[in-house]
A and B are shown apart, each in its own frame.
Chain A
Amino acid sequence: MPDGQAFLEVKDLKIHFPTDDGVVRSVDGLNFKLERGKTLGIVGESGSGKSVTSLGILGIYNHRNSKISGEIWLDGKEIVSASQDDVRKLRGNQMAMIFQDPLSAMHPYYTVGHQIVEAYRVHHNVSKKVARKHAVDMLGRVGIPQPDRRVDDYPHQFSGGMRQRAMIAMALVNDPHLLIADEPTTALDVTVQAQIMDLMHDLQAEFNSALIVITHDLGVVAELADDVLVMYGGRCIEYASAATIFEQPEHPYTWGLLGSMPRMDRPVQERLVPIAGSPPSLINLPKGCAFSPRCVYEERTGGLGTTVVPELTRAGGTNHLVRCHLPTEERQRLWVEEVKPKLEA
């Protein structure tokens, strides 16, 4: 790897969609790194640009109505500027993706086996028979009982959890070095969620791949991620190790996310304290700090919050970045004195 470059490096990634109403800045200057064997969690409310980011990395965007800039280095190869066909050859092979709703993400008219075989044969010049054996193996490895029989079933014949396992089997069939899981458990019920997360954890270890887990649920991140990137309005607002994010988070938005985390020890109605207000429009971001309309600490920045866009700057933890005008000390004080006690109450 040249100059100590990471396995995956995203530099100043921007993905904009010009529309009739204006330019949608779904991703606006994103940077991160990820090594093989490591897991990055990307967290944020719905609409913050998480899926667009992951699809952008895979090169799945309409080249005629979207504008992408920046750099994505995968294993030493830059893929934003690569040809569409080169990226296609990496897709499903070097890098693969697992989607949120396995029912709608699998083709209803083809058997599960067919779809896995297809995924394998795009990148491997083998007979259908060989590919099928591989598919059965894969289904077995993701924990589907009687895989040699279930391989001929259609997606709708599988239960939700099984479908997601099949989806994972399909993604891993080519042994990818980068796996992106976009809300892999959101559509599943709680007990199954845990099983799937365990499975992904095990498989990642087994394949030694880099894993990006996208979620709006910090619980998932807590279980899987090494590092966490919190996204808001198409930008990164806090980046740190998972431990830092849970122990000493510094951004008011991250605090809000922690507050809305479901907790097993509380009755249902008390678990969620959603952040007041709604996510910003990606066409017209609020002036200054994008979070300012919803931020209870906005007044403490002396007007800066509504006028100047805060930079992503070093914060208290190791490799810790935060985008907020408040000084680090004040953020740490607020966390320790005001926010944390409330969360633990």
Chain B
Amino acid sequence: MMRKSRALVAGTAALALTLSAAACGGSDDKGSDSSGGAKPEFNAALTQVYNPSDKKGGTIRLANSGDWDTLDPGETYYGYSWNFLRLYGRGLLMFKPVPGAEGNTVTPDLAEGLGTPSDGGKTWTYKIRKGVKFEDGTEVTSKDVKYAVLRSIDKETFPNGPAYFEGFLNLPAGYKGPYKSKGVNTDSAITTPDDQTIVFHLKQAFGGFDYFAALPQTVPVPEAKDTGAKYKEHVVSTGPYKFETNELGKSFKLVRNDKWDAATDPNRKALPDAYEVQLNVNADDIDNRLLSGDLDVDVVGTGVQPATLGRVVGDPTLKASTDNPTLARLWYTSINPTVAPLDNIDCRKAIEYAADKVGYQTAYGGPLAGGEITGTILPPMIPGYEKFDLYPSADGTGDVAKAKEHLAACGQPNGFETNIAYRAERPKEKATAEALQQSLARVGIKLTLKPFPQGDYFSQYAGNPPYVKNNKLGMNLNGWGADWNDGFGFLSQIVDSRVIRETGGSSNTSVRIPEVDQLLDKASAETDAAKRDAYWAQIDKRVMEEAVILPGVTAKSLLIRPKTLTNVFVSDAYNMYDYLSLGVA
């Protein structure tokens, strides 16, 4: 035992040595870097371009700690992948590759302009640019876009993809996509009057359709080259880069696509000559390589590992080479009014007041990696967001006096008992549940912790209404991130009572407010963006008044800024570095 611990001490000392050695390496680089003009300081690439440059050439090296969800534009469903996909695919619209809030707006890509709504938002028309070609030289037509959208509807082949198009398009009954429903006329859903025009026909008006048009599912796919589930092995490029190699599960390489014409593309700079992506790389190793300059980008863009976080926080030099964007992700707790005494709004408000949000934040990793304490459901980058807090406390640790008032009003002056559910595999949720347990105990609310397996958390337990009721799960930990930064995308799955299924599986477990449902319908049909965005804050407030959601923190991540690259900035659409604009120094 003695010897073992001595060896460990020796080993730890060696580690400390190497860490400080690596840190020294970092400060050396800083000296040579400053020639680029930008100062390496904390959040230097958050709202402006760091190291701007138009220099072409070089190879950008990226790594992914897991497998790529899929390279197929019809099925991919991760933000980082959508961010990256713009290098080899051009959808109708795209998020603007610029820093700041403007990056969260859609802009024409394959289309000449944004969509033209007609029929009160039930029909959307897009004009496609002339001269855009596939990597084999054939020109892209509206039919290729139509085919791409339709094939993505085949959920037996692409089960992981987004399901917006099949939900909104006026497809023939029983339509299963072009593989199974071969030859079925789909003009009720999409028409292509000519090679340059594509018209989408919806079941009901939807004002935010331009967001759908910005989904990678509108990236054209040539039918002749489509191999279904295997298409991801050979995606045919329309962007400035195409696949040179693609070893699934291991790595792939993008090189310049000479059929891409910059004249057709106002958005892409296409600076580097190539992108090399490694898959399934050890996450801690990724951080170390980023810090040493052996790697440029952690492509998943969710931030550093806990071990690295500790190093960065303690070292000003390291911290100066990081950015700390806020994510469109809310960590929150559902307060379920189906469980007594939480059917009484005052008992719910007592929880809102008694909760210690600083503890919530600490449980998620503190202000840098955990997130920002919030009183709203909407994260700040969602258009229409308004800052408010209906249940404020002086320092964020809760207002015990107010909480007691509401307990009295609820008829439970001495508090009550209930259960709180969380995902057993998530230590942060466990820590949060414990923090809540402590802070609510101050007013006599006794929480019993109930861990459940994450795979079945929503289908069997916290998201299963009969289970919640029968097992008195008064509260459950929850989290949500939108598919894109827009009120509809953010709110529709977590505050619309109609998504709750008696058989389980919904993320919304506690919000059943008819007025909110109506507001959501009105907002989604609204084609005027400004008017539409005004609804979101209204819904946010209405839900908070009912005290059925206890917002915790808006997530943040800590990104290591590539010191080897130019044109580095955080995209407000993806809340990670914009992969379209990077160049090699």
Determine direct contact between A and B, CB below 8 Å.
no
